[in-house]
């Protein structure tokens, strides 16, 4: 008999969703009595339906809207070092089959059976984002498992971001194992070289999710004049240069990110073909429209304008505005790439907002490609949030 506490679904909740793989229990779906509320954040419990039938082992956070996350469908499982090694090992095996170099997202939270835990690998170093209380509490043991299973020498905890705030977790940055790199790490992807700042960069230092969309953009980039807006460290711009673009301009509000973009271009031997422009992206698009410069390929990859359902309407207006401002900058017969990392905006809503914006920008076009995150960012079919990234590529008429 389990010694763990029990958390039970309310009678009107639908346990079949959990049985079929949905990994979350919301606060209004569970019986939150005094005993349940006394379970420490990040503690473990057995989840039962209203008839007291076990549904699995969960981690509990009484202070979160997601009060329980399924750790294992086996209610008798033990979340110990062996369990961590097994989960990380399974995730690692898939990445090693997919990629010939150790640069990838090693664990994608719920989709890899590690709820709220993101791990990005940068060669001998790994950056973890423990965005759930259990992972934050077990961060040192996760680092040990990573070192043992993946053989990494350095593990950095990046405890920043909106998700941690929703879990009631404080922000923190810590080197858990090894020594943090003194210089940005060179990451080779699609023939380009990116520089990732593992301690001072955004998120974990680099966005691996756009890798297949960078590759598609490269097919449009040979000999092209390219504009990469919201470029971060040069994601699309450097990929275009690696594919033979004549010139690329990267626009971002972060001087540090643009410095890394320029460094990546130099490392590729393409420094002379890259220009950087530090500016608010909307202001840059408006400013460029006042001149006569046009680009063969324009790509806009903004931050999440719709991070929640409450922000959806405003977020879709922002995506529409991006498309409206970007479309006039595309040369006749050129291409426009528009991206969204907002899980609250599904593909249809984002596509419609983008099409409206293109029309309001005085252009017409056809959609030639829809992209998503790479396979190192697997999607859990039952959880739409794991399939957050959308990338749309349009060919615009004259």
Q: Does residue 300 carry a catalytic annotation?
A: no
CB atoms within 10 A of CB 368: 12
Residues 6+ apart with CB under 8 A from 259: none
Query: Please, where are the H alpha helices in the chain?
Result: 15-19, 34-37, 81-98, 133-137, 139-150, 162-166, 211-218, 235-242, 255-267, 281-289, 312-326, 347-360
Please list, in sequence order, all residues whose beta carbon lies within 8 angstroms of the beta carbon of residue 198, skipping any fewer than 6 positions away: 122, 125, 127, 156, 180, 181, 184, 185, 204, 205
Cα 218 to Cα 351: distance, rounded to the nearest angstrom: 22
CA distance 266 to 257: 14
Whether 233 contacts 257, CB under 8 Å = yes
373 close to 340: Cβ distance less than 8 angstroms: no
Report how far residue 151's alpha carbon sits from residue 264's, in angstroms, rounded to the nearest whole number: 27
Q: What is the secondary structure of 239-256 as a DSSP string?
A: HHHHTT-SEEEEEES-HH
Structure tokens at 206: 């680099």
C-beta atoms surrounding 173 within 10 Å: 13
The torsion region of residue 213 among left (phi > 0), alpha (psi -120 to 50) and beta comes to alpha
Residues marked active site are found at 341
């Amino acid at each position: 008999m389990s010694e763990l506490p029990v958390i039970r679904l309310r009678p009107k909740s639908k346990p079949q969703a959990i049985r079929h793989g949905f990994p979350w229990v919301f606060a209004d779906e569970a019986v939150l009595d005094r005993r349940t509320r006394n379970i420490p954040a990040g503690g473990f419990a057995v989840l039962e339906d209203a008839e007291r039938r076990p549904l699995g082992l969960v981690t509990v956070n009484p202070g979160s809207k997601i009060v329980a996350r399924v750790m294992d469908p086996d209610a008798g499982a033990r979340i110990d070092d062996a369990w961590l090694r097994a989960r990380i090992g399974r995730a690692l095996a898939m990445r090693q089959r997919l990629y010939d170099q150790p640069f990838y997202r090693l664990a994608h939270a719920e989709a890899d059976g590690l709820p709220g835990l993101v791990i990005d690998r940068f060669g001998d170093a790994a950056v973890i984002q423990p965005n759930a209380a259990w992972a934050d509490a077990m961060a040192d043991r996760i680092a040990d498992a990573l070192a043992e299973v993946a053989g990494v020498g350095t593990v950095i905890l990046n405890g920043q971001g909106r998700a941690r705030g929703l879990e009631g977790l404080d922000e923190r940055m810590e080197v858990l194992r090894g020594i943090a790199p003194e210089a940005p790490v060179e990451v080779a992807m699609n023939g380009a070289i990116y520089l990732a700042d593992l301690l001072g960069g955004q998120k974990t230092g680099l966005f691996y999710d756009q890798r297949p969309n960078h590759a598609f953009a490269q097919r449009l980039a040979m000999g092209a004049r390219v504009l990469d807006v919201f470029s971060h460290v040069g994601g699309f711009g450097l990929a275009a240069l690696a594919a033979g673009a004549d010139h690329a301009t990267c626009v971002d509000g972060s001087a540090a990110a643009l410095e890394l973009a320029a460094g990546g271009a130099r490392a590729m031997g393409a420094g002379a073909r890259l220009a950087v422009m530090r500016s608010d992206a909307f202001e840059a698009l408006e400013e460029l429209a006042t001149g006569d410069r046009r680009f063969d390929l324009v790509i806009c990859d903004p931050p999440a304008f719709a991070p929640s359902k409450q922000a959806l309407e405003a977020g879709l207006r922002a995506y529409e505005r991006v498309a409206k401002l970007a479309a006039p900058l595309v040369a006749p017969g050129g291409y426009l790439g528009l991206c969204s990392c907002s899980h609250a905006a599904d593909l249809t809503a984002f596509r419609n907002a983008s099409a409206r914006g293109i029309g309001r920008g005085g252009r017409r076009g056809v959609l030639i490609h829809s992209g998503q995150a790479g396979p190192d960012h697997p999607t859990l079919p039952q959880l739409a949030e794991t399939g957050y990234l959308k990338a749309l590529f349009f060919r615009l008429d004259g």
